[in-house]
Chains A and B, each alone.
Chain A
Amino acid sequence: MKINSKYSLWGIILGFLFFLLFPFMTPYKALASQILIFAIFAIGYDILFGYTGLLSFGHAAFFGLGAYGTGLSLIHLSIPVPLGILIGVIISILIAFPMGYLSIRSRGIYFVMVTLAFAQLIYFIAFKWRALTGGDDGLQGVPRPALGPINLDSELVLYYFILFFFIVSVMLGIRIINSPFGKTLQCLRENEDRAKSIGYNTNRFKLISFVISAFFAGLAGGLYAVLQNFVPLLTLGLDISGDIVVITLIGGMGTLYGPIMGAMAIVFLKNLLSSYINIWPLILGLLFVVSVMTFRKGVFKELKEKFLKF
């Protein structure tokens, strides 16, 4: 992605202004926070799916692990929120290593199924381990202790707190993609055997990509726990895994900005449509099918390539 300096500066300023005013544009402020959270999730997922070409149907596991990790640590230890989020991320990454290692042994379609299966297993464990997770009642009562002088109880303040992490995530994402590591991932996506023959340890790259995506997912999950003040069991569920695939695909895989816009569109639409129309899963399904059939790169990437040639 060549960065044309003139457009890019214009874009950054506009974008920054937009996100500063964003909470005032959404029906209620918590929605803006939720959109950013899924955007963070999607950035990491795009690195795995769009850039490395690995379709995981089990990423809700990392989102959920981050959420439960953060939630539990905030409830049981009196620690500041950033530390709680750090713990959530660490737990997510710790599980990502073995899960990724075992999953990557399978290629292609099998990888998809394996990740799905592992996520289901983690879901079941959380469901049964009621003493720890609250089972299907979820983890209730996640606190938002004030961060020094900053009172996080206000939805608006929390939004800007999350915005900080979002900006960091975007910068991190761009950095990773444009690094030699990122280029190798794309080379791997195009033709894994050729990459292997050149001498790359493809499994190691795949694993690192997997763990990186789990990092973003865990971060998003931790922020989610703080936003909602509770962790529903369904954060580990198949719906969330499916959601992130939908978001990334409709937004445009392999672009980073695509999934961000995808998150905005899907989370907002889901919220808006479900309040007024009963048939929004139908519309979402239709949108998804259309995206796969025609805009195979995703709605926003297609639009971008048609209208904005940069």
Chain B
Amino acid sequence: MIKRSLILTIVLIGVLFWVVCPAKAADTVKVGVISVLSGPLAVIGNGEKWSAEMAINDFGTVLGKKIEFVARDHAYNPGIANEKAKELYEKEKVDVIIACPNSAAALAVAQQALIHKKPFISTSAGTTDLIGKRCNRYVIKWNYNDYMLATTVGLWGAEHLGKRWYTITSDYAWGHDLLKHFTAALKKKGGIHVGNDMVALKTADYSPYILKAIKAKPDVLVLLNVGKDTTNSTKAAVEFGLKKTCKIVHALLFGPNIKGAGPEVFADDYCAMSWYWKVDNPGAREYADKYLKLHGDRPHFMAAAVYSATWQYLEAVKRAGTTDPEAVIKALEGHTFRDMFANPGYIRPEDHMQVAKAFLLRAKQPEEIKEDYDYFEIVGTVPAEEAYGKPGQFGCKMKGF
């Protein structure tokens, strides 16, 4: 009786652990997405997941094969992202991983891409290390990076918005990165950096920092943060009347921030983006309309980047005639393309950065918003060479396969 229960327990555990089906049918192309699908930043991740699915549906088949899709949530946790990458490459046998916001997570997945010798297209993390000291042949960096964000806003802003700048920075790797690039861009245009505050992530009360900013009398307040930190810091700026005396510029500002707090809070603030749903690219409007119909919101630029990256990956597979990683990556290096995201876009072979021109956006006043979710107006552009800098300037030593 006892022995039987013991054996039963062990067999049950064994069956529980054993996952039966083979991970991937041999004649399909499998695309994997790792992103933040839970928690406060889920709006970013869900948009990315949906866009990948849309791109796959729109593309149809490639080389006569069906395209499979699988998504995993990393909950904005680099350790989990690392595990999911291993799972996707090893068990699910994906041919490519796309997306992955959070720079630490992206770096980890990049390492897994190198270990498993399969491509990773990083669309959503900002760290320039991916095209710098941690670059490798299997990683393609799409969309934006911290240098581009900070430089776009710094170059354009110093020319059009004012000379005295005060920064409030989220105190972690991403914030530090942004600050570094931003102050460099500011100096180039002769701006004056009157002060900076490092603020711990998820700080609820920004008032001490706003008070310091007021004392420094800036022309422009720069908020190098994202998500709730953006909302909280902007609200505090409004509360203490700082917004009346200076302009506000954001590193990252999303529609949901504006929708949540109300357009009055963010009105006349500036930010940089690689794409906006009203941009005049072939297919952009169709994509934005379809997204609105399917998901009840307009897509943000992270989502659009994933659509583009997925599409271009599949195109590259078509061009190369195979899913073999080396061939596909070679088909992407140095490639120029025009799609709904970049018009044109170009993938630099030196560091695998996909570049395109960058946009400056202004958040509209409530009365200016005529269409649902049309929160921004495009007020300027910065050409790709200026926004992304020189190829390889971050020290990427691209090795062979």
Residues of A within 8 A of B (CB): 10-11, 14, 18, 22, 24-31, 34, 127, 130, 134-138, 140-141, 153, 155, 228-230, 232-235, 264, 268, 271, 274-275, 278, 307-310
Q: Does B10 contact A (CB under 8 A)?
A: yes
Q: Report the Cα distance A309→B3, complex, angstroms.
A: 10
Given A28-B91, A30-B90, A278-B37, A233-B104 contact (CB < 8 Å) = yes
**Number of A-B residue pairs having CB atoms within 8 Å of each other in the complex:** 104
Could you tell me if A25 and B17 are in contact, using CB atoms closer than 8 angstroms? yes
Checking B18, B111, B176 against A141 with a beta-carbon cut-off of 8 angstroms, the contacting residue is B111
Within 8 Å CB of A137, what residues of B? Answer: 103-104, 107, 127, 129, 173
For A136, what are the chain B residues with a Cβ–Cβ distance below 8 Å? 104, 172-173
In angstroms, how far is the closest chain B Cβ from the Cβ of A127? 8
- A selection of 11 A-B contacts at a CB cut-off of 8 Å is A14-B10, A27-B87, A30-B83, A136-B173, A138-B107, A228-B79, A228-B82, A232-B82, A235-B79, A264-B13, A307-B5
Using a CB-CB cutoff of 8 Å, which residues 51-84 of chain B contact chain A? 72-73, 75, 77-80, 82-84
- Whether B6 sits at the interface, judged by CB under 8 Å, is yes
Interchain CA distance A267-B78 in the complex, whole Å: 16
Which 5 pairs of residues, A with B, have the shortest CB-CB distance?
A: A25-B17, A28-B91, A232-B79, A232-B78, A137-B173
Chain A residues with Cβ under 8 A from B260's Cβ?
A: none
Query: B296-334: contact bitstring with A at CB < 8 Å (1 yes, 0 no)?
Result: 000000000000000000000000000000000000000
Those of B144-198 within 8 Å (CB) of chain A: 172-173, 176
Across the interface, B2 reaches (CB within 8 A) one of A127, A153, A308, namely: A308
A72 to B278, CA, bound (A): 48
Q: How far is the CA of A29 from the CA of B134 in the complex (A)?
A: 26
Chain B residues with Cβ under 8 A from A278's Cβ?
37-38, 73
Query: Does B19 sit within 8 A of A, measured CB to CB?
Result: yes
In the complex, A137 Cα to B177 Cα: how many Å? 11
- Rounded to whole angstroms, the CA-CA distance of A25 and B173 in the bound complex is 38
B86 interfacial by beta-carbon distance below 8 Å: yes
**Is the beta-carbon distance between B19 and A27 smaller than 8 angstroms?**
yes
Q: Nearest Cβ in chain B — how far from A255, in angstroms?
A: 15
Q: How far is the CA of A22 from the CA of B13 in the complex (A)?
A: 11
Residues of A within 8 A of B18 (CB): 24-25
Does the CB pair A234–B172 fall under 8 Å?
Answer: no
CB of A126, distance to nearest CB on chain B (Å): 12
Which B residues are CB-close (under 8 A) to A11? 6
Q: Is the CB of B2 within 8 A of A230?
A: no
Cα distance A55–B189 in the bound complex, in angstroms: 57
Is A268 touching B17 in the complex (CB atoms < 8 A)? yes
Closest Cβ of chain B to A23, distance in Å, is: 10
Query: Which residues of A sit under 8 angstroms from B37, Cβ to Cβ?
Result: 278
User: Closest Cβ of chain B: how far from A300's Cβ, in Å?
Assistant: 10
A229–B114 CA distance with the chains assembled, in angstroms: 11
Contacts A136-B173, A307-B5 given: A228-B90 contact, CB under 8 Å? no
Which residues of B from 17 to 43 have beta carbons under 8 Å from A? 17-19, 37-38
**B72, B78, B83: the one within 8 Å of A34 (CB):** B83
Q: By the criterion CB–CB under 8 Å, are A135 and B172 in contact? A: yes
- By beta carbon, the residue of chain B nearest A14 is B10
The listed residue (B17, B87, B107, B172) touching A140 by CB distance below 8 A is B107
A28 to chain B, nearest CB (A): 4
Residues of B contacting A233 in the complex (Cβ-Cβ under 8 angstroms): 78, 104
Q: CB of B108 within 8 A of chain A?
A: yes
- Chain A residues, CB < 8 A from B75: 274
Please state if A307 and B2 are interface contacts (CB–CB under 8 Å). yes
- Return the chain B residue nearest A22 by Cβ: B17
Determine the distance from Cα of A233 to Cα of B107 in the docked complex, in whole angstroms: 13
A138 touches B104 (CB 8 A): yes
Q: Mark B250-277, 1 if CB is under 8 A from A, else 0.
A: 0000000000000000000000000000
Contact across chains for B78 and A138 when beta carbons are under 8 A apart? yes
* B115: contacting residue among A25, A153, A264, CB under 8 A: A153
Kindly list chain B residues whose C-beta atoms are within 8 Å of the C-beta of A264: 13
CB closest residue in chain B, given A279: B38
Q: Is the CB of A28 within 8 A of B104?
A: no
The minimal Cβ–Cβ distance linking B224 to chain A, given in whole angstroms, is 15
Neighbouring A residues of B172 by C-beta, 8 Å: 127, 135-136
Among A29, A134, A136, max chain B CB count under 10 A is at A136
**B208 interfacial contact with A, CB 8 Å:** no
Is the CB–CB distance between B90 and A29 below 8 Å?
yes
Interchain CA distance A22-B104 in the complex, whole Å? 30
User: Is B400 interfacial (CB-CB < 8 Å)?
Assistant: no
